[in-house]
């Protein structure tokens, strides 16, 4: 890696760390996309941040496939955290907060940080940016994802309910 590329990456990491630290307090009160756009402009980061609004289906998958890393920094309890499965399915490396079901949904494929611990998030992000791709983990990840398809989960529920019915004393 050239010295110029190294300096550029350090600058990007520093800018991201600054953004995370600034967002720490502001995220609690922000509920509108326009506020986030205004904040990124105020911090001088509009060249590094893009807002697409709500994406769904193929459009969402195509956009997610453009990236190597997905950060899910939820401050609030997530249900199951299907967004983590979507990120894995799009071959993103994950970094998730330990909020609700995100940790379970991400399995062993994500470093985890406490909600609001943006220093730890920044550390994880820097590690993930410098980490080499792990081709050996692809089969393990695909097996994990296949256990979370609709049919697989429905089958697990049916099996569970059948066990309860069989053991119930009628």
Give the pLDDT band of residue 8 (cuts 50, 70, 90).
low
pLDDT digits (tens, 9 = 90+) for 12-44: 555 565 555 555 555 555 556 777 888 888 888
Q: Give pLDDT, residue 3.
A: 54
Average pLDDT, the chain: 78
Q: What mean pLDDT comes out for the span 142-165?
A: 85
pLDDT digits (tens, 9 = 90+) for 104-139: 888 888 999 998 888 899 899 888 888 876 665 777
Is pLDDT above 70 for 49?
yes
Q: What is the DSSP-derived secondary structure letter of residue 132? A: P
Task: Write the class of the CATH domain 58-133.
Answer: alpha beta
For 108-120, the DSSP string reads: TSS-EE-TT-HHH
Which helix or strand (DSSP H or E) is residue 94 part of? Answer: strand 93-97
The candidate with the shortest Cα–Cα distance to 15, out of 3, 4, 23, 25, is 23
Q: Give pLDDT, residue 153.
A: 82
CB atoms within 10 A of CB 160: 10
Q: What mean pLDDT comes out for the span 75-86?
A: 83
Q: Which pair of structure tokens corresponds to residue 95?
A: 């970094």
Domain ranges of the chain: 1-51, 58-133, 136-170
Cα 150 to Cα 158: distance, rounded to the nearest angstrom: 12
More confident residue, 4 or 56: 56
Backbone angles phi, psi at 93, to 5 degrees: -75, 140
Q: Give pLDDT, residue 107.
A: 87
Give the pLDDT band of residue 169 (cuts 50, 70, 90).
low
């Amino acid at each position: 890696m050239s010295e110029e590329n190294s300096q550029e990456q350090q600058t990007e990491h520093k800018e991201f760390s600054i953004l995370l630290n600034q967002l720490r307090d502001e995220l609690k009160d922000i509920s509108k996309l326009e506020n986030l756009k205004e904040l990124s402009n105020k911090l001088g980061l509009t060249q590094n941040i893009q807002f697409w609004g709500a994406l769904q289906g193929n459009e969402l998958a195509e956009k997610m496939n453009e990236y190597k890393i997905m950060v899910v920094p939820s401050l609030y309890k997530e249900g199951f955290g299907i967004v983590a499965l979507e990120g894995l399915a799009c071959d993103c490396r994950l970094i998730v907060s330990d909020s609700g079901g995100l940790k379970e949904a991400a399995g062993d494929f994500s470093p985890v940080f406490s909600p609001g611990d943006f220093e730890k998030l920044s550390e994880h992000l820097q590690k993930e940016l410098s980490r080499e791709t792990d081709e050996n983990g692809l089969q393990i990840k695909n097996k994990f994802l296949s256990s979370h398809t609709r049919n697989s989960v429905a089958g697990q529920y049916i099996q569970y309910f059948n066990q309860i019915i069989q053991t119930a004393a009628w």
